[in-house]
Each structure stands twice: as structure tokens, then as C-alpha cells.
Amino acid sequence: MHSKLLVDATDLVQWADRRDSQSVLPQLIRSLILSSSDHIEKISFAAGEGVSLGGWDGITIAEESSSFIPKGTTVWEMGVNRTVKGKADDDYEKRSKNPLFMIPEETSYVFITPRRWRDKDKWTEERQKEGIWKEVRVYDADDLETWLSQNPTVHVWLSILLGKHPQNCTDLGSYWTDWSEETQPAISSEMVLAGRENIKAEIYQWLKNSNSPLRLQAETRDEAIALFAAAISLLPSTEKDFFYQKQ
């Protein structure tokens, strides 16, 4: 999905200078992974304030490989620094010396930057030759643009977050934010679902086994969508991201 109303690699480079890029980048990668594969056995990414906790930026265990996700265990490191190589070198050397309970020769290593990195292939080749990790990859702004183009819902979500407004198109998470904030104070998910425990249970059951259409009754179409979005917003962060990107 390519449009001047959707973010591209240049937008990502500019976004890297914004303060929120550091905390949102892990959420973006988590959403892309969840949207790209139905074969993720484990995924752990700290986003928001969680980026200051230390440890790996992300860990995945995938039953199958895909274009951007290696099969098996993968550790993910990322940074928005302007000195991309310096950040990549620091993270790689630190994690190679102390892999934090991982077995490097059985684990893939991925470094991500929302900036463009001209020499990423050379850096990757040199690190791969060291033979410390099972596989070494780098994704920069141009790679992320390609990944986003394969996942329209995530692409729209990030575009809206970065101030672009795709015509007649929104993602479920952004829809819920806009709908709930139409009033002051904003309407909480709990308020929307108050007295509707049976509806929430029906939504959760459908999410687990969506073999047939889900029918929700409300006063308006917008309210019905809001009910659905509100129920998903109460799920743990990984499940919430997964279902927001899948709808």
C-alpha cells in the first residue's frame, strides 16, 4: 500500500528525531510481527515507559520464518540514534559479551533503526562472519517501509500517529481513540461495556474462533464498532496489538 498519505522511509527518518520514536518503535515492530505471522509462539517487546527497563528490546520465537521474521528464537535490538553504526556496534558488542540467558549460536540477532543506513549490508556481512550468532540482520528505514507496505493496518495506524490522514481509512485502535475522546472527559472502555458483560464475553469468544460473522446490536453503527474496539482495548498489550492489527 503506497500513497503520499501514508508514511514512507523519509517520514520514518524524520520521525526518528521526535522524542516519541524511542518509546513507540518497539510497539511498531511488535505490531508488524503480530500482523505478519500466525506462527509466533512467543513475543515480548517493552514499549512506552517500559523501554527504560533494560534487557533485550524484543524476543520472539517463531514456528516458521517469514520475510522479516527468522524462524526459531530471535533477539531484537533497536535505536533511533543519528550515529546508527555506533549504536549498532555498542548493542552488538554488549549483547555478544552478555547474551542474557540466550544461546547465541542458536539465536538470530536483528538490529532495527528508523533511519537510513547505507552500509548496513557491509556491517551485517562482517558480523555474520564472526559466527557468534546464528544469523545477523539489520532493518533500516527503507526495510521498514517495505514491511509496512505488506501490513496495511499497521501502516495506516503509524501514518495517523505521525500526522498523516489516509482518506476514508483508519485502523481500529485509532478509531477507538477518536471515538472515546469525542467527549470530555474521554469515555473509558469500562464505561462503554458497563452492563454489557455478555457482549464482551461474546466478543472474546468470537476472537478465539471467528469462523462466522459477529453480530453486535447498538443504537448506531459507530457505537457497535466502539463496543468491539473497547473490548479489545482491555486485553493485555500483546493480545490487544494482535487483534487491533488483524481486524
Q: The pTM is what?
A: 0.77
- Report d(CA 24, CA 12) in Å as an integer: 12
CB 55 within 8 A of CB 26: no
Beta strands at 58-62 and 135-139: parallel, antiparallel or unpaired: unpaired
- Report d(CA 30, CA 58) in Å as an integer: 8
* C-alpha closest to that of 44 among 237, 213, 224: 237
pLDDT in tens, the chain (247 residues): 445 679 999 999 999 999 999 999 999 999 999 999 989 999 999 876 555 567 899 999 999 999 999 999 999 999 999 999 999 999 999 999 999 999 999 999 999 999 999 999 999 999 999 999 999 999 999 999 999 999 988 999 999 899 887 766 778 888 888 888 888 888 899 998 888 888 888 888 888 887 788 888 888 888 888 888 888 889 888 888 778 776 6
- Report d(CA 244, CA 72) in Å as an integer: 25
Q: Where are the alpha helices (DSSP H) in the chain?
A: 9-15, 20-36, 84-97, 120-130, 141-149, 152-161, 172-180, 189-192, 197-208, 221-233, 237-246
Helices and strands (H, E) in the chain, number of each type: 11, 5
